[in-house]
Structure 1
Amino acid sequence: MPALLALVLVLAGQSKALAAFWNLTGDIAVHDPSIIKEGNSWYTFSTGPGIQVLKSDNGTSWYRVPQIFLSEPSWWNAAVPAQANLDVWAPDVQRYNGKVWLYYSISTFGSNRSAIGLASANSVGAGQWKDEGLVLQSTTSNNYNAIDPELVIDASGNPWLAFGSFWSGLKIVKLDKNTMKPTGSISSIAARPNNGGAIEAPSITYRNGYYYLFASIDSCCKGVNSTYKMVYGRSTSITGPYVDKNGVNMMNGGGTILDAGNVRWKGPGGQDVVNGNIIVRHAYDATDNGNPKLLINDLLWDANGWPTY
């Protein structure tokens, strides 16, 4: 009987783990996804021409709908002259104060001549996005890179913007509640000084007194040869210090690995954590020529308050 009971418990544990992985179908080609639910519909925004958008009526079966931008806002070229036509990176979509806010970035690969922009709408389904203009930019004279934005709401309901890629690492700055643009100084929250600066894509969620910072490290965008991994740390303050499970400060290269990929899914990253219980990211499918695809999991938490899935 004890052996049988042990087997039942093992199988139950496996079922829970397998259930946490969402079985997705349809068009799931994405890079750097951000997800939002509105009514019974789900939307995923991702890197691509004009910001690519997928829609699902159940969260698992996806189809492509029209992109956000059909033409470039006038300020794009002035901010990033070398940016390719309608090439938009790593959008982040969230609802705050009765509106939907869509942050995004424009840049060129390997350069920190970059900019973060903002669009807004009353609802995703209705569309009619309004260009809110430039939010933040970086030039070659800065030691940071203004891409990979994420809107973060702190425990008091105040908005912040996390961002950053390579250079001196990940940053966060408080936003004005009305303009949703920066006010105050930029704080550093994570860096990899001994690893070529390879950290980007911050995503922060608040849970039970802690802010949890998720990030992507190492190299993306190389198909099955990508070495992207997702890491995390936590802090009692939104501006840090963030430490991993071993107590290592993420400003000193810390970060506990959440997902380093597997035989099929290579280089997982570009993650977005939603409501503290769902995590989306892309990974490169080794069974399909290394094409990047959408992955979604329930985000679970252990007895000590650390994330897992």
Structure 2
Amino acid sequence: MQRLSRRLLTAPGILATALGLLSAALPAAAAFWELRGDIGVHDPSILKEGSAWYTFSTGQGLQVLKSDSTGRQWSRVPQIFLSPPSWWKTYVPGQKTNDVWAPDVHVFNGKTWLYYSISTFGSNTSAIGLASATNIGAGRWTDNGLVLRSTSANDYNAIDPHLVVDAAGAPWLAFGSFWSGLKIVRINPGTMKPTGSMISIARRSAGIEAPAITYRNGYYYLFASIDRCCQGVNSTYKVIHGRSTSVTGPYVDKSGKRLLDGGGTVLDAGNVRWKGPGGQDVSNGVIARHAYDATDNGNPKLLINDLNWTSDGWPSY
């Protein structure tokens, strides 16, 4: 979710033709999931638990959507935080009541971990928090408190967390938005909180945020969002990626340019209907992100694609 810190046709025949053209404009249409129901999200994190799919997203108390095993029909279920924990105001005094950003949900060591961020637009007075549960379906979450924070004295922004487990089984947390770019820090597997120093993994003068890292065949793939979100159909958000043989980088794009030097291969820049895609997550062989629907007043909605891989090892869809 971008912060400078962060919904015509009436004749049936015409409508059918228009929808066909819109579908044709989507990349890899066969891999594009046709979603139904309540799909309003921003900054989605997606996970499959048993036979159900869940999507967590920015909003009051952290919003949650649930789908059956197909992942096509979605409905809203109760939010995570019915009221804000008292410690939030200690670190982000100006936060809007119970306004929670950019969650990230993963299973590690037999528990489900939910990282999230609290902040205000235009500021890097921010904090990343953590909640945990034995499983999502039970709906019982424990507040594990503060993970890390940033203030105006820091050159980074503590939002947009993403948990990644390296090939050796060690957990890391990537995060960041604008300022000096994206960071990664090792996580203590006992506390699930940082230990050690932060390492820079990507930066861009025009802004970069929302890291998501996945490991495949010897490479760590870093996905991120660039340019401007949160402006409806005028959003210019894009999903980029790079890869590295080490979780800490250096990450390079397909041309060999380092993401620390402003590189990044564009994976998704949107199309005639879906404007400004970003806030992405990669899980269970799919990539989820939000985009602004030009056919519905620019409202942000959930998009899901199968994540495919080219013969030379780069993501595509």
TM range (shorter): over 0.9
Residue 156 of structure 1 is matched in structure 2 by 168
Confirm or deny that 1:51 pairs with 2:51: no
| TM-score, normalisation: structure 2 | 0.91
Does 1:104 find its partner at 2:113? Answer: no
Distance between the aligned counterparts of 2:128 and 2:275, measured in 1? 28
Instruction: Please give the alpha-carbon distance, in whole angstroms, between the structure 1 residues aligned to 2:215 and 2:98.
Output: 33
Number of the residue aligned with 1:10: none
- 2:201 matched to which residue of 1? 189
Secondary structure of 1:29 counterpart: coil
Q: State the 1:74 CA deviation.
A: 1.4
* Cα displacement string for residues 103-122 of structure 1 (whole angstroms, at most 9, x for unaligned residues): 00000011000000000000
Q: C-alpha offsets along residues 239-265 of structure 1, whole Å, 9 cap, x if unaligned?
A: 000000000000010000000000000
- CA distance in 2 between counterparts of 1:132 and 1:74 reads 13
Structure-2 separation of matches of 1:181 and 1:296? 30
Q: Report the Cα distance in structure 1 between the residues aligned to 2:123 and 2:141, rounded to whole angstroms.
A: 28
Q: How does 1:86-125 map to 2 (within 5 A)?
A: 86-125=98-137
Partner of 1:203: helix, strand, or coil?
strand
Give the counterpart letter for 2:255 in structure 1.
N
Match of 1:73 in 2: 85
The residue aligned with 1:210 is 219
Give the equivalent residue in structure 1 for 2:306.
298
Aligned-pair CA distance for 1:127 = 1.3
Unaligned residue ranges in structure 2 (runs of 5+): 1-24
Take 1:110 and 1:25, find their aligned partners in 2: how far apart are those partners?
Answer: 34
- What secondary structure sits across from 2:28 in the alignment? helix
Give the corresponding residue for 1:247. Answer: 256
Give me the whole-angstrom Cα distance separating, in 2, the residues matched to 1:145 and 1:18: 36
TM-score normalised per structure 1: 0.93
Aligned twin of 2:297? 289
Partner of 2:315: 307
Distance 2:253 2:188 in 1: 30
Shift of 1:17: 3.0
Structure 1 vs Structure 2: percent identity of aligned residues? Answer: 74
Secondary structure in 1 matching 2:53:
strand
2:75 to 59, 63, 86: 63
Please state whether the residue corresponding to 1:221 is helix, strand or coil: coil
Name the counterpart of 1:147: 159
What's the counterpart of residue 34 of structure 2? Answer: 23
Q: Output the aligned Cα RMSD.
A: 1.3
State the AA in 1 paired with 2:36.
Answer: T
Alpha-carbon deviation of 1:19?
2.0
Give the Å deviation of 1:88. 0.1
Match of 1:164, as an amino acid?
G
Point out where structure 1 has 5 or more consecutive residues left out of the alignment.
1-13
Amino acid at match of 2:313: G
Q: Are residues 1:228 and 2:237 paired?
A: yes
